[in-house]
Amino acid sequence: MGDNTKWALGLSIASLLCCGPFTGVFGVFLAKKDMDEIAAGRAPQLDEKWAKWAYYLNIVGLILFVVGLCLFWGRTGPRGF
């Protein structure tokens, strides 16, 4: 597993637990970096499976954030503006 993937996995957990977009965006970026390296054949030693896991977990974190936001707004209506 590459360093980028390890960080991306950590960030995805943070994204799912509490931090949503703040860590999710960076997690997607880091995991995509490893996926691109593997796809280009520059890093055959990296594990594509874990990179994909990290990538999709971060995506799920971001989607859950948006879903949570929509549910909240559905209940209360967007306030502030």
Partner 1 sequence: MYDRADKSVAVGLLAAACSVLAVALWLKPAACGYGTHTQLGLPPCNFLLVTHLPCPSCGLTTSFAYAIRFQFWKAFLASPFGLVAFFGTVSLIPSAIFLLWRRISFRQITESAHFIKAVYAATALYFLSWIFKLGEIEFARH
Nearer to partner 1, 36 or 49 (CB): 36
Nearer to partner 1, 56 or 67 (CB): 67
Q: Which two tokens stand for residue 24?
A: 């999710």
Q: Which two tokens stand for residue 12?
A: 């995805």
- CB of 53 vs partner 1, minimal distance in Å: 18
C-alpha dist (Å) from residue 9 to 17, 28, 48, 81: 12, 9, 13, 36
- Binding residues vs partner 1 (CB under 8 A): 4, 7, 11, 14, 17-20, 22-23, 26, 29-30, 33, 68-69, 72-73, 78-81
Question: Which residue type, as a one-letter code, is found at position 78?
Answer: P
